[in-house]
Structure 1
Amino acid sequence: MFLLPKGVVKPKEGKGEAARDAAATSAPNGGGPNTNGSKTEASSGPVPASQGVTAQQQPHTMASAEQRKGLNTLVARYRTAQGAAKLTVATDLAKQYQSVQRFDSAGYYYEQVAQAKPGEQAWKRAADQYFEAYSFAATEERAKMLGGKARELYEKVLKQNPQNLDAKTNLGMALMASENPVQGIMMLREVLAADPKNEKALYNLGILALQSNQPDKAVERFEELAKVNPKNVNGLFYLGVSLAQSGKKEQARQTFQKVKSLSNDPGLLTSVNEELQKL
């Protein structure tokens, strides 16, 4: 969970850092430690983004039999409800799907609410869930589908409020699964221009630099992130990875030890120990 792909993605031909960064599209969210996304459950419901997707493509089933029963009951209520009652049930469904980590389904129902009562926050709730599902996409095809849906909804958010930097950052990352990933890089840089201390933008640009075989650039991004938030353990972990790939082994070792002092997450600590063994 906390490791980059075994082979660092090599840059596509192109000029400038944005073209090199844009090559890092093999992992939809840049392969970061906080990977999130679509998880399968067995309840039925009108979820277009999931149609034709097998359990093997969505391997993280998280709903118990009792939860599935509750979801089926809510789906049945949704199909017969009218007016304001239908929106209430849709919101309940979105929350329940979110709780079992079926983020594409949550996004679908939040989108139904947003279509009935459009607004910046309503569109963003739906977009955030599709983005979460995109982050967990198990296949390139699914990443493109969910990334496209997230982009569509984030564009609605930014139409309401062009200064919503969180939406702009996520849109930038979702663009990495599009035909124009360079646009995503430029969008992340626009976020940093508006907010030089934006943790999410710094983190994602660092991950993209690391994946596009630019460890020195990644070090710069993660060092800046560490200045903004010295306790961002995910950023520190990848700072250690970047330092190691840059040949700065002692600095990497010190950084990994700092991560161990700040976190008791077993997955992260396992990855840290593996990186220390490599050093």
Structure 2
Amino acid sequence: MLNTKQIVVISTVAALMAVLFFMDIKGLVKPKETRGAGMTTETASQPVSISLESISTTAKNSLSANLAQQITDLEASLKQASGSDKLKLQQQLAQKWDDVNQPAPASFYHEMVAQQVNDYPTWLKAGDEFTDAYQNTQDTLVQPGLVQKAINAYKNAQQLQPKSLDAKTGLGVAYVSGTPNPMQGIQLLLEVVKEEPRNVKANMNLGLFSMRSGQFDKAVNRFKTVNDIKPSPESWFYLASSYENMGLKDEAIAAYLKSKELAADPGLTQFVEKKIAELKK
């Protein structure tokens, strides 16, 4: 989740807590009256209409006037473009939004590119962008629409490359995160780790979903696997959170310290130090 884009740098702890908020993980966010492995059936089943125009307008509010105007100019040019020029402008807008760490509008342009190019890598990229978008927005009205677009993109990727574990993983995460049928997603992720036991993304998400359902012992095993293969501030942070929820204070402290060490982020350092102080009481 660490981002080194030149224009916008997001604090590690902010990114981590955004995922925790979205996942509604026990012990780290305020519990809701009801819990489940995804959005409620009522929310997920409602037809959601999301427009690029409204998402772009909202995203521009977080940019400087100069950057916002650059994007507005590109959007105006796109409306008049056709053929190869249209594709180039869509690619430019996708990259422009990526550069300022705005996955929601970027995902729409990646989808446009995929619709024209129609190959596996572009559809997979579109799916990953929509995933970033729905995991990083707090707008509960927009989330279901972004989830559905992610699902559609991954399905298109699967049609072009049926054996893709990346597409299956993304699809599994989307089903669990934002549909009334989370077990379908869990099954897809379990199929991925059965075929590839050391798949980092599948293990990471299965760990998160285990946390969400209060199965912290299972979460620990998933995050340990991730840390053996590709350790990151996130995986150590979630491992620490799982240990904390299990009452294993010493293990939690050690994992939190490892997360802080790898991140070297002032925001995460402050959060971890506060956590450690609480655990030592």
Alignment match, 2:197: 196
Alignment match, 2:121: 121
Report matched runs for 1:29-108 at 5 Å: 48-50=50-52, 61-108=61-108
Alignment match, 1:177: 178
Matched, 1:7 2:8: no
The answer (yes or no) to whether the contact 2:59–2:102 under 8 Å persists in 1 is no
Deviation at 1:59, TM superposition (A): 7.6
Residue type of the partner of 2:208?
Answer: I
The answer (yes or no) to whether the contact 2:189–2:202 under 8 Å persists in 1 is yes
Alignment match, 2:132: 132
Deviation at 1:158, TM superposition (A): 0.8
Alignment match, 1:39: none
> CA RMSD, aligned part only?
2.6
* Paired residue secondary structure (2:142): helix
Which of 14, 38, 46 is 1:25 aligned to?
Answer: 38
The unaligned stretches of length 5 or more in structure 2 are: 1-13, 22-28, 40-48
Residue type of the partner of 2:104?
Answer: D
Instruction: Considering fraction of residues, name the structure with more helix.
Output: 2
Cα distance change, pair 232–53 in 1 and its aligned pair in 2 (3 A): closer
Alignment match, 1:30: none
* Paired residue secondary structure (2:51): helix
- Number of residues paired by the alignment? 247
Report matched runs for 1:157-172 at 5 Å: 157-172=157-172
Deviation at 1:10, TM superposition (A): 8.5
The answer (yes or no) to whether the contact 1:9–1:211 under 8 Å persists in 2 is no
Deviation at 1:264, TM superposition (A): 0.8
Alignment match, 2:25: none
The answer (yes or no) to whether the contact 1:240–1:251 under 8 Å persists in 2 is yes
* Paired residue secondary structure (1:69): helix
The TM-score, its normalising length taken from structure 1, stands at 0.79
Report matched runs for 1:251-270 at 5 Å: 251-270=251-270
The TM-score, its normalising length taken from structure 2, stands at 0.79
Q: Provide Cα deviations, 1:37-65, integer angstroms capped at 9, x if missing partner.
A: xxxxxxxxxx953455698xx68943211
Deviation at 1:87, TM superposition (A): 0.8
Task: Could you list the structure 1 runs, at least 4 aligned residues long, displaced by more than 4 angstroms after superposition.
Answer: 8-12, 50-55, 58-61
Cα distance change, pair 100–226 in 1 and its aligned pair in 2 (3 A): closer
Cα distance change, pair 152–236 in 1 and its aligned pair in 2 (3 A): same
Question: Which has the higher mean CA deviation after the structures are superposed, 193-202 or 265-274?
Answer: 265-274
Deviation at 1:164, TM superposition (A): 2.1
Residue type of the partner of 1:202?
Answer: N
Q: Provide Cα deviations, 1:219-250, integer angstroms capped at 9, x if missing partner.
A: 12112222223x32211111111112112111
The unaligned stretches of length 5 or more in structure 1 are: 13-22, 27-46
For residues 105 and 221 of structure 2, the distance between their equivalents in structure 1, rounded to whole angstroms, comes to: 38
Matched, 1:216 2:217: yes
Deviation at 1:7, TM superposition (A): 3.1
Residue type of the partner of 1:49?
Answer: S
The answer (yes or no) to whether the contact 1:8–1:211 under 8 Å persists in 2 is no
The answer (yes or no) to whether the contact 1:241–1:275 under 8 Å persists in 2 is no
For residues 277 and 64 of structure 1, the distance between their equivalents in structure 2, rounded to whole angstroms, comes to: 39
